[in-house]
Structures are given as structure tokens and as C-alpha cells.
């Protein structure tokens, strides 16, 4: 059973539909008991970092996530959900994240060239920079779908894939049982479904 963490932020039902399509049972929940009973966790997210971390704390899910990942339970953060895994974010001030992966979330402006529109929206190639079980079912340079205005920095030891948007940007990270995708697997067609399937069936 996959627990999709519900803290009032994220494309929950789109993600659940994707899991349904690959035959993976899931539950949308914020109940600590159900989260503890689940085999794997997915942390989705859209919107502002400060609002999202506030919602996690409001429901007590920040502590639940830390406890479950400390026990070795696999977690996949998606888009803003990936950014929440880091120590800090510079979105509209300085905000503390979950601290599961060392690094800082920084704005794309003015890092990317002026010719690159912000937010970064659309299909870009995924360049795998080191071997990871998460990408064992997809080809190098597969296309996935991005929507973001901030990116993960200061985390080179944990980057498993980048994407080129004028400069190389962090596209995916891994630290022990914790994984993150800046892109949306649930919006990335067959490639995204293979990534979700791998997370559900193979990573540990």
C-alpha cells in the first residue's frame, strides 16, 4: 500500500489515478496510523514552500515523515514535495524544510539565462548523473514534465539526475530511502509511470 500524504497541497487524485493505472493500491491520508501501516510514502506538492511546510507542521506530518523515513521506509517527494525534503528554502524569505537531504532551494531567477522563461514549464530531458534504482526502467535522456520556479542547490552529493534549462538544474535526488523528483512523474506519460512503478516495486 502506498500512502499519498494529504496536507492540503498537491495533485492528489491525479497521482492516485496514475498509481491505479499501474495496478498499485494507494490511499490519500494524513492519518499517522495509516501512514505507519503503508509500505511506501509519496509527498506531492504544488504552490509556495512556506505554506506547504506550515501545513505539514499543522497536521503533524513533518514529525511523522521524519519518523517513518528514519525507520527506512521509502519516500518519494514530487515537485514542491521534493523541495520540502531539503534543509532550507529561499522562496519568499528563508524557511526551514524537513531536513532529510542537505541543500537549499533557490529561485531560478537570475540563475538561468534571460532567454529561459520562469516558471520552467514543459518537457525536458532527464540526464541521469549516477546510477539509481529509481531510474532502472527508463532510458537515459528520457523526457519528463516540469513546472517550477525554484530549484534544489548545494546538494551535488545527492543528485541522481539533472535537466538542461540554459544551465544544468537538479531534476532528481536520492539520500538513503528518500527520493525526490523536481518533475511530475504523474504528468510524464509512459516514462513517468515507469518511474512510479519502480518506486512502488523496487526501491528500498
Q: Which residues are marked as active site?
A: 79, 184, 186
Helix (H) / strand (E) containing 169: strand 168-175
Inter-axis angle of helices 61-70 and 49-58, to 10 degrees?
Answer: 80
Phi then psi dihedrals of residue 139, to 5 deg: -85, 155
- Which element (helix H / strand E) includes 88? strand 86-89
* Whole-number Å distance between alpha carbons of 65 and 59: 11
Alpha-carbon gap, residue 119 to 110, rounded angstroms: 12
DSSP state of 94: -
Residue 146: CB atoms within 10 A of its CB come to 23
The pairing of strands 2-5 and 40-43 is parallel
Q: C-alpha 61: how far from its chain's center?
A: 16
- Distance CA(198)–CA(196), nearest Å, equals 5
Amino acid at each position: 500500500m502506498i500512502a499519498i500524504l494529504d496536507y492540503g497541497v498537491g495533485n492528489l487524485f491525479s497521482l492516485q489515478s496514475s498509481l491505479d493505472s499501474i495496478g498499485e493500491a494507494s490511499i490519500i491520508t494524513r492519518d499517522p496510523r495509516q501512514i505507519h501501516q503503508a509500505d511506501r510514502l509519496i509527498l506531492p506538492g504544488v504552490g509556495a514552500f512556506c505554506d506547504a511546510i506550515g501545513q505539514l507542521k499543522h497536521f503533524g506530518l513533518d514529525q511523522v515523515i521524519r519518523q517513518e523515513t528514519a525507520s527506512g521506509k521509502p519516500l518519494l517527494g514530487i515537485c514542491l514535495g521534493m523541495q520540502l525534503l531539503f534543509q532550507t528554502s529561499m522562496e519568499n524569505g528563508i524557511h526551514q524544510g524537513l531536513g532529510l537531504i542537505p541543500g537549499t532551494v533557490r529561485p531560478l531567477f537570475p540563475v538561468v539565462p534571460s532567454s529561459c522563461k520562469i516558471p520552467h514549464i514543459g518537457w525536458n530531458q532527464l540526464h541521469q548523473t549516477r546510477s539509481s534504482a529509481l531510474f532502472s526502467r527508463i532510458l537515459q535522456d528520457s523526457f519528463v514534465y516540469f513546472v517550477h520556479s525554484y530549484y534544489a542547490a548545494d546538494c551535488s552529493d545527492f543528485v541522481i539526475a539533472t535537466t538542461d534549462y540554459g544551465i544544468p538544474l537538479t531534476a532528481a535526488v536520492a539520500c538513503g530511502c528518500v527520493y525526490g523528483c523536481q518533475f511530475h512523474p504523474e504528468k510524464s506519460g509512459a516514462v513517468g509511470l515507469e518511474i512510479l512503478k519502480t518506486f512502488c516495486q523496487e526501491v528500498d
